[in-house]
């Protein structure tokens, strides 16, 4: 399957935590696939209803992570992700986003300038975006 990606974009996560919670400008929706919610539940020994609510508005995602502390992700503690090794696809992608372009019949990876480290760090290669795309293909129904 074909995909397009931004060229000459630089990015390296600084672990600032901006993507893990609401800002004055944006309400964050940290969405989970069914399999991701089940995996997190199994690995944390928490029932899904403790850390997520069901959503019907964002197929194929079926859950949204709760934000109990001033709009911050349930799993963010001391500005660190407590489930980093098995964080959901939506978190692995940020500040990038994958959408399907019906007109071009291909996927498009775009990014948000909201992230303070876009434009810093290493220039991402096609291989970097291929890895992101393959991850999505593996997880999305």
> Could you tell me the residue ranges of all domains in the chain?
3-139
pLDDT digits (tens, 9 = 90+) for 34-51: 999 999 999 999 999 999
Residue 1: what pLDDT?
66
Residue 74: what pLDDT?
98
Residue 122: what pLDDT?
95
CA distances from 94 to 18, 81, 103 (A): 10, 14, 25
Per the prediction, the chain carries an average pLDDT of 94
Average pLDDT over residues 120-126: 96
Q: Is the pLDDT of residue 22 over 80?
A: yes
Average pLDDT over residues 84-106: 92
Residue 103: what pLDDT?
87
**How far is Cα 98 from Cα 100, in angstroms, rounded to an integer?**
7
Paired strand residues for 77 = 80
Residue 30: what pLDDT?
96
Q: Is the pLDDT of residue 10 over 70?
A: yes
């Amino acid at each position: 399957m074909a995909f397009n990606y931004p060229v000459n974009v630089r990015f390296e996560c600084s672990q600032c935590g901006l993507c893990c919670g609401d800002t004055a400008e944006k309400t964050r929706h940290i969405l989970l696939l069914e399999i991701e919610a089940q995996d997190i539940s199994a690995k944390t020994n928490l029932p899904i209803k403790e850390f997520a609510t069901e959503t019907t508005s964002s197929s194929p995602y079926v859950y949204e992570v709760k934000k109990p502390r001033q709009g911050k992700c349930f799993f963010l503690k001391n500005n660190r992700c407590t489930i980093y090794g098995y964080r959901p696809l939506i978190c692995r992608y940020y500040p990038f986003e994958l959408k399907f372009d019906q007109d071009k019949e291909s996927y498009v990876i775009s990014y948000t300038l909201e992230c303070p480290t876009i434009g810093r760090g290493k220039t991402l290669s096609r291989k970097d975006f291929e890895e992101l795309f393959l991850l999505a293909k593996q997880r999305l129904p």
